[in-house]
Homo-oligomer: A and B are copies of this chain.
């Protein structure tokens, strides 16, 4: 029987911390379902990238690290903002899974109340490898490229991700 894990995140963007976590989890499960949550959102300061862009980043990172695409799959799940149904929504979108990896308090709580087996995401150097930190560095023009896979850094440049983020940070309010 395949032992399948679920890794819930937004991956805005997908960084080396995520990548190391995936490697660590893949030592414990046969296959990993990566839920790209809030899949309908993009073009905001907290969710700058589209689901298509996030999928591209994840696949390129995985390829760069020689993680076989047979070991993971990515499932975008839209957010309905009705927490009482969130677990059922994820269950409906994903192949059956045995254990949920998440550090996000709400997701963790909802899966616990639904009786699921939860494990923390084994993050490494969390303060540095954090999407929030990376988006902040992108905005203020500090180095962020080292924090994501090389191919992700390239892709973000290809789609002019920094220009997008910096434009979104502007305001016309006075």
Binding site for B on A (CB under 8 A): 39-44, 50-53, 55-56, 59, 63, 68-70, 73-76, 78, 80-85, 87-89, 91-96, 103-106, 108-110, 113, 126-127, 130, 132-133, 164, 167-174
Q: Do B85 and A92 touch across chains, with their CB atoms under 8 A apart? A: yes
Which of the listed residues A39, A73, A88, A172 has the most CB atoms from chain B within 10 Å of its own CB? Answer: A172
Q: Do B59 and A94 touch across chains, with their CB atoms under 8 A apart? A: no
Give A107's nearest chain B residue, CB to CB: B172
Q: Which of B43, B69, B74, B113 contacts A84 (CB 8 A)?
A: B43
Q: Do B42 and A84 touch across chains, with their CB atoms under 8 A apart? A: yes
Q: Do B76 and A76 touch across chains, with their CB atoms under 8 A apart? A: yes
Q: Do A174 and B43 touch across chains, with their CB atoms under 8 A apart? A: no
CB pairs A–B below 8 angstroms (19 shown) = A40-B84, A42-B84, A43-B110, A44-B83, A55-B94, A56-B96, A63-B70, A75-B76, A76-B76, A78-B78, A80-B80, A80-B85, A103-B172, A105-B168, A105-B170, A105-B171, A127-B174, A130-B173, A130-B174
Q: Which of B81, B92, B103, B174 contacts A133 (CB 8 A)?
A: B174
